[in-house]
Every structure is written in structure tokens, then in C-alpha cells.
């Protein structure tokens, strides 16, 4: 493992946790759904941060391994799924339907599965565990939606917790292991 191997996980994790807490606290304090627009800050902040960290990592890396390639493809595929879901939601929006909830409902299961796969490849239990917690929580969100159980408002705090467990904590653990190995 290289120094800074967990930085991209940490960056996405903190951005998502902070935005989720802002959305949750803003909504709980005011009851105004306009706070949901803050979710657009995740890709607007996360993507440039990701590219900057990836560019820095590429400059520092002496060798790109097969494992790096697998992990990159897993998360690239996950990113492509999110872009395609956004296109679908926009299409439905143009047709007069509000389909944006699918983005929220699918985020934890998809990111959880990608995290689990990354954990298996890297042999990192914290990633696997965080992925399982997130996938199960996301599945619970979907079941609540199907059964018409209202968890709106409180679910965002579970969402923030999942991203902390799935990305922030494993990212710090990976960086600590990399520092010890050097």
C-alpha cells in the first residue's frame, strides 16, 4: 500500500457526511425541503477533489498495480451508474415526474457493494464491514419506501453514519497501515 492510499475515500466520505448533516440539520430545523438542493454539493465538490487527489497520487506512484486497476474500475463503474441514474431522473423530470428519490435510495446499496468489492480486493475488513452496513441500511431505506413507512428527515443521519463507516474510517485505517508499512 502506498502513502495516501485512503485519501480519495476520506475525501468523498467527509464531503458526503458534511453535506448529509447540513441537509439533515437544515431540514429538521426549518422543515423546508429546499435544503435537499444541498445534495448537489456532493458531486460539485467531490469530483474536482477526487481528480486533484488522483492526479497527485498518479504523480507519486512509482508503479500502477493490477489491484489499482481493479479498484479504479469498480468505482468508475459505480460512478457511471450514478451518471446514468441522473440522466434517467432528468428524463423523468422533463416528463413531469419527480424521480430524484431513486438517487438517494440507490446510493447506499450501490456504494456499499462497491465498498465491499474493494474491501475484498484489498483484503481490508473495515471496507467490507462498512459496505455491508451501508448496503443493508440502503436496503432498509428502500423497504421503508415500498411499505410507505415515513423515515424522511431522520434517514439522512443514518446516511451520514453509513458514509463515515464505509469511507471515512476505512480511509484512515488504510492510510495508517500504509504509513506503518513505509
Report how far residue 147's alpha carbon sits from residue 22's, in angstroms, rounded to the nearest whole number.
27
Closest CA to 100 of 109, 91, 108: 91
What integer pLDDT is reported at residue 67 of this predicted model? Answer: 86
Average pLDDT per block of 10 residues along the chain, 182 residues long? 82 96 94 89 94 79 76 93 90 88 90 96 96 96 92 88 97 92 78
Closest CA to 5 of 76, 46, 75, 61: 61
4 three-state secondary structure: coil
119: its cell numbers: 474491501
Cα angle: 32, vertex 34, 36; to 5 degrees: 110
Q: Are 113 and 92 in contact (CB under 8 A)?
A: no
Closest CA to 10 of 38, 48, 44, 49: 49
Amino acid at each position: 500500500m502506498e502513502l495516501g492510499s485512503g485519501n480519495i475515500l476520506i475525501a468523498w466520505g467527509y464531503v458526503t457526511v458534511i453535506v448529509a448533516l447540513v441537509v439533515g440539520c437544515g431540514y429538521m430545523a426549518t422543515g423546508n425541503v429546499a435544503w435537499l438542493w444541498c445534495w448537489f454539493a456532493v458531486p460539485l465538490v467531490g469530483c474536482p477533489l477526487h481528480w486533484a487527489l488522483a492526479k497527485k497520487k498518479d504523480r507519486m506512484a512509482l508503479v500502477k498495480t493490477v489491484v489499482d486497476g481493479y479498484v479504479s474500475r469498480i468505482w468508475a463503474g459505480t460512478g457511471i451508474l450514478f451518471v446514468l441514474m441522473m440522466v434517467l431522473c432528468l428524463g423523468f423530470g422533463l416528463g413531469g415526474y419527480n424521480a430524484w428519490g431513486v438517487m438517494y435510495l440507490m446510493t447506499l446499496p450501490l456504494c456499499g457493494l462497491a465498498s465491499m468489492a474493494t474491501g475484498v480486493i484489498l483484503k481490508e475488513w473495515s471496507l467490507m464491514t462498512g459496505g455491508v452496513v451501508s448496503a443493508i441500511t440502503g436496503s432498509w431505506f428502500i423497504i421503508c419506501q415500498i411499505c410507505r413507512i415515513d423515515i424522511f428527515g431522520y434517514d439522512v443521519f443514518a446516511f451520514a453514519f453509513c458514509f463515515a463507516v464505509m469511507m471515512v474510517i476505512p480511509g484512515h485505517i488504510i492510510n495508517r497501515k500504509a504509513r506503518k508499512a513505509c
